[in-house]
Amino acid sequence: MRILGIETSCDETAASVVEDGVKILSNVVVSQIDIFAEYGGVIPEVAARSHLEAMMPVIDKALDDAGCNWDDIDAIAVTHAPGLLGSLLIGTLTARTLAILHNKPLYAVHHLKSHVYANWLHQSSKGKQGTPCHSGTLQGRSGQSLCPAEHIAPCFPLLALVVSGGHTQILYMPGHNQFEIIGTTHDDAVGECFDKVAKILGLPYPGGPSIAKAAEGIICSSDTLKGARPSLQSSEHIIPSSNRYKLPHPKVEGLDFSFSGLKTAVLRAVQKEVGVPISYPSHKLKDLLSRQQVCDFAASFQKTAVEILCEKIEMALTKYPETKSVVVAGGVSANEELRGALKDAYFPAPSLSGDNGAMVAAAAYYEIQSGANPTNPYSLNIYPRISIEK
């Protein structure tokens, strides 16, 4: 079964053709990162307009790359929730129109479900049977072993750690398409925290990748960081220390998270380090930091954020000793330090960690396998803030 997956929930316009939920025949992603790097974040109205321009060329290329015409496509899947209202509208209106025009069944998919199902996709777009990235052993305090590495797909029951720009949740999945939220953030999502800390440190948007680079001693060159201050442009080799700044772990009950305190802790530590009062404008702090300090803050923050995520997953494994697999999903799953820390968890290929159409098609395939009916293309709605449990 070949599904065309369409994704436009935030600032990526994406379409992909996937066979039987696992084999990627094409995967086209047009990112608006360059536009929003100028502004330091996504502007919803601009994102919607960019989707409108890119949508049809992206879909045409996805079909072309897959060597398919409309007769080869069995269904269309589209993200209808959650996300930016205008962005979701462009994707769903396009999918609805195409479904009516080409007489294809239409499936509406929740964005977080798609991120989770990126872990079922084969790694190679050429259909090579790659195993998801995992090695070593992740054990809960109760000591249970997780499903061995030779399994191509994750085993149920599983725990999904969803870490994106808008969400931080732990989901319990007894089987396909069954989701129970067992932990969630009380305030900021972890990806949002990476983005906000990057802003404090003067690193470019999106913050996740630039923090990860700075934590390795690499600060974007003036080519990519337009107008970078001279102090960051030197080619001096930096070895960052992740132990230089001690940042607190939030005291949140159970499996829930809180990341706004960590962001504030970085802000206070930077203010203390450069010797200014807390009333000092935060957008000016970056001008007072050296390259070494920026890299040390990035490394210390990244280490703390990863530790917090790992602690909660360990707690969840203790609480759910029957767990067979842990899967990690969402943009932050691209983070190498997190991949290193959760050695036996499943991760999507780094290119599939962020928003893409292949994961939408994969999620729809497993919905169809579970007996889901297609949605009505004349009345499909969008839900910018709906939970995965609804």
CB closer to Zn ion out of 188 and 355? 355
Asked if 106 touches ligand KG4 (CB under 6 A), the answer is: no
Q: Which of 88, 93, 89, 90 is nearest to 111 (CA)?
A: 88
Among 7, 195, 296, 367, binds ligand KG4 (CB under 6 A): 195
Site track for Zn ion across 321-360, x = CB under 5 A: ----------------------------------x-----
Q: Which of 317, 7, 259, 23 is nearest to 142 (CA)?
A: 317
List 31's β-bridge partners, or say none: 12
Site track for ligand KG4 across 205-244, x = CB under 6 A: -xxxx--x--------------------------------
Asked if 323 touches ligand KG4 (CB under 6 A), the answer is: no
Among 170, 332, 359, 368, binds ligand KG4 (CB under 6 A): 332
Region of 103 on the Ramachandran plot (φ > 0 left; ψ -120 to 50 alpha; else beta): left
Asked if 11 touches Zn ion (CB under 5 A), the answer is: no
334 binds, among Zn ion, ligand KG4, none (CB under 5 to 8 A by kind): ligand KG4
The structure tokens listed for 18 are 């996937």
Taking the C-alpha atoms of residue 361 and residue 352, their distance in angstroms, rounded to an integer, is 12
Amino acid making up residue 58: V
How far apart are CB 100 and ligand KG4 at their closest, in Å?
28
Taking the C-alpha atoms of residue 344 and residue 64, their distance in angstroms, rounded to an integer, is 36
CB closer to ligand KG4 out of 185 and 335? 335
Asked if 355 touches ligand KG4 (CB under 6 A), the answer is: yes
Taking the C-alpha atoms of residue 368 and residue 374, their distance in angstroms, rounded to an integer, is 8
List 329's β-bridge partners, or say none: 162
Taking the C-alpha atoms of residue 332 and residue 330, their distance in angstroms, rounded to an integer, is 6
Q: Using CB under 6 A, list all residues that contact ligand KG4.
A: 10, 164-166, 191-192, 194-195, 206-209, 212, 330-332, 334-335, 354-355
Q: Using CB under 5 A, list all residues that contact Zn ion.
A: 164, 355
